[in-house]
Amino acid sequence: MKIDGRNIVGYDYSIGTGLSFQGVNPISNSLIPEQFFIASQEDVEVAMFKAREVFCDFSKSSLEQRALFLEYIAYEIESLGDVLITKINEETGLSLDRIKNERARTTDQLRMFAAYVRTGNWLEATIDTGIPERKPLPKPDLRKIMFPLGPVVVFGASNFPLAYSVAGGDTASAFAAGCTVIVKAHPAHPGTSALVGQAIIKAAKHNNMPNGVFSLLFDNGFTIGKALVEHPYATAVGFTGSLGGGRALFDLAANRKRPIPVFAEMGSTNPVILLPEALKNRANEIATNYAASITLGTGQFCTNPGLLLAIGSEELEQFKKSLIAAFKLTNPGIMLHKGIVDAFVHKSESIFSESEVKLLVRSEKEADTGQGRPVIVTVKGTEFVKNPALHQEVFGPFSMLVECESVAELYSCIEYLQGQLTGTLIGEPSDFNEHRNLVNLLHQKVGRVIFNGVPTGVEVCPSMTHGGVYPATTDSRFTAVGVHSIKRFLRPITYQNAPLDILPEALKNRNTLSLVRFINGKYSTKDID
């Protein structure tokens, strides 16, 4: 498939303002030849109008139709073959193996949502039949179902050009819910976005989806994103990126005449608590694992372990020696684009400027242009507690070791943490028995508690929670990964004393969809007499 740099507005293509921009190869720091046209305000209006106009039809599509659409998007992405792989590599500098793994994750999650759509469980069909003869007042017939919100605006993420981008988890879950989608492409990988957008349109046409079920708009600034969020037809926003970007979108959405929810995943320092017996028994192993985890993908994961916490001891000193030895052997890596490199350098230097922060270890190799040089710093627990500047995320191959003088100080450090995506406990059974309250503390801070592992690596499955307390996300009640992320784009509607022929199929007396329904306080697959 040939890349088309025009905006996709439903089934039409537009050159928007007529102005264009180009992608940049992060390895060579050179412009990539293709031109991508910046969307106009008219493109926003038309895309949003189409999305609203066809929302009703799309929301009423059968579960099977929606599932087939999702499966066909996966098929079309795979059909792009090496054209897509090569373009992602050119635009991001990511390794071919990493790209292929991410493509598999993206297509797998599309198929996962297709399978989940078919179950209909997410509809949460709930029925309380009426009792007209009840005294002193009749009981009404009440039937509840989850209903899609409407047009959803999705922002492509920089660090996952497929899995959190044009056909990523936000788009997949919104389509699964029955919402139309308008994506604002990330300017760091416009060619990748265009190819995937074209694949979605091909799948939509093949499955007779309405014109307007999907649009893709380009902009290398903030104008189009702002216009989409503020548009009166938008009903929700999905975003993965920085705290600054997510908070700006959240504020825009809250200040609308009719506020809408923004489901923003904004990163995390992902604290790792190193408990005494574990350090005593396997300090070298833990150090080796974490040197690898901190530098995995040049640290460009929202679950990167940016914070290590431990109580001072001989075992901790041995761990530090092992960590230094392993970390010196790591290499600088290409970062996704210049903006990320600049932010990494700026935030690293900002941390270094704090008087009590000391360098623990750096990669022995200097960084070239476009690269991030791995680094770990250390600070005392007392200083960490009183200095909020030390709590910020440094996106990249960076981590901070917080050395506490006592158990009480360790607990105090954790209490002062902001919301996080993950919290990890490294310990032996005796550690966990002695420090059970640490789990309770983490419950108040994180969306996922990990035992004896690393936070990098997010399994895409129904049990996964990829979310957390603000500022990790804007709404801790939801996950951005797994089938339950569909809940972000649904709301409950109750029908009271409705004629049976008006009810949605899932709420009728005959259970033609073979759903598990909650009827009069009990789960059942039976028809209603």
Which tens digit of pLDDT belongs to each residue from 157-194? 999 999 999 999 999 999 999 999 999 999 999 999 99
Contacts 24+ apart (CB under 8 A), 356-360: 356/380, 356/383, 356/387, 357/383, 357/390, 357/400, 360/320, 360/323, 360/324, 360/401
Residues identified as active-site: 265, 302
Mean confidence (pLDDT) of the chain: 97
Q: Please state, for a pLDDT cut of 70, what percent of the chain lies above it.
A: 100
Q: Answer whether 163's CB lies under 8 Å from 478's CB.
A: no
Three-point CA angle 217, 220, 223, nearest 5° = 70
Q: What is the pLDDT of residues 227-284, one digit of tens each?
A: 999 999 999 999 999 999 999 999 999 999 999 999 999 989 999 999 999 999 999 9
Label each residue of 440-462 as H, E or C: HHHHCCECEEEECCCCCCCCCCC
Q: What percentage of the chain carries pLDDT values higher than 90?
A: 99
How confident is the model over 68-113, as pLDDT tens digits? 999 999 999 999 999 999 999 999 999 999 999 999 999 999 999 9
C-alpha distances (whole Å) from 515 to each of 263, 319, 500, 506 are 29, 54, 17, 7
Using alpha carbons, select from 181, 306, 291, 289 the residue that is nearest to residue 238. Answer: 181
Per-residue confidence band for 502, with pLDDT thresholds at 50, 70 and 90? very high
pLDDT tens digits for range 430-440: 999 999 999 99
Give pLDDT, residue 267.
83
* φ/ψ (deg, to 5) at 141: -80, 120
Model confidence at 114, pLDDT cuts 50, 70, 90, reads very high
- pTM equals 0.96
- pLDDT tens across 13-66, in order? 999 999 999 999 999 999 999 999 999 999 999 999 999 999 999 999 999 999
Per-residue confidence (pLDDT) for residue 1, from 0 to 100 = 81
Section 141-164 average pLDDT:
97
Is the four-CA dihedral 174, 179, 185, 191 of positive or negative sign? positive
For residue 471, is the peptide bond before it cis, meaning its omega torsion is within 30 degrees of 0? yes
Alpha-carbon distance 20 to 432, whole Å?
57
pLDDT of residue 54: 98
Total Cβ atoms within 10 A of residue 369: 11
Q: Is the dihedral of CA 454, 460, 462, 465 positive or negative?
A: positive
Output the pLDDT for position 409: 97
Radius of gyration of the chain, Cα coordinates, nearest whole angstrom: 25
Domains of the chain: 36-266+476-487 (3.40.605.10), 271-451 (3.40.309.10), 495-524 (no CATH)
Q: Is 452 left (phi over 0), alpha (psi -120 to 50) or beta?
A: left
